[in-house]
């Protein structure tokens, strides 16, 4: 069983912020900022595209609730992040969203996209046409 499934089943402890029938939100054990929270479906799915639509909607609702809760930390903004696949930086193979509150004056590189690369945009569009 994966580590987030164990957290969802209460087999290992986590600092839980929010819970409903389908979703669970808990503080990240290695926070990138004060209030860094992970939101997971209680059922095991590895990546975002595997989620049934209803579960994806439940997760989005939970994300909104958690963001409301985190407002009391007075962040100046926040990132919502979802990594899929090891090449994208996914370390735990149980789909999760990061909510990372951001505070003015803190390092921007906590979570910055890498610089742009050269891509043939027309070529990409052509490859994706009618898919």
**Rounded Cα distance, 13 and 114, in Å:** 34
- φ, ψ of residue 112 in degrees (nearest 5): -120, 145
Q: Would you call 44 a catalytic residue per the annotation?
A: no
| Residue from 8, 14, 39, 40 binding ligand 5GP (CB under 6 A) | 14
Query: Cβ 51 to ligand 5GP, closest distance in Å?
Result: 15
Burial class (CB in 10 A: 0-12, 13-18, 19+), 126: exposed
| The two three-digit tokens of residue 21, written as one number | 């029938």
Query: Cβ 85 to ligand 5GP, closest distance in Å?
Result: 10
- The site that binds Zn ion (CB under 5 A) totals a number of residues, namely 5
**Rounded Cα distance, 131 and 122, in Å:** 15
| Residue from 49, 54, 87, 89 binding ligand 5GP (CB under 6 A) | 89
Site for Zn ion in 41-100 (CB under 5 A): 44, 94
Could you say whether residue 92 binds ligand 5GP (CB under 6 A)?
yes
Could you say whether residue 97 binds ligand 5GP (CB under 6 A)?
no
């Amino acid at each position: 069983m994966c580590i987030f499934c164990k957290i969802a089943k209460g087999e290992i402890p986590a600092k839980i912020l929010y819970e409903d029938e389908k979703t669970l939100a808990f503080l990240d054990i290695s926070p990138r900022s004060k209030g860094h929270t992970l939101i997971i479906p209680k059922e095991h799915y590895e990546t975002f595209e595997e989620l049934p639509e209803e579960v994806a909607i439940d997760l989005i609702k939970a994300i909104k609730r958690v963001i409301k809760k985190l407002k009391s930390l007075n962040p100046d903004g926040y990132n919502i992040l979802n990594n899929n696949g090891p090449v994208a930086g996914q370390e735990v193979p149980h789909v999760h969203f990061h909510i990372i509150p951001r505070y003015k004056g803190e390092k921007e590189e906590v979570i910055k996209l890498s610089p742009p690369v050269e891509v043939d945009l027309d070529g990409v569009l052509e490859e994706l046409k009618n898919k």
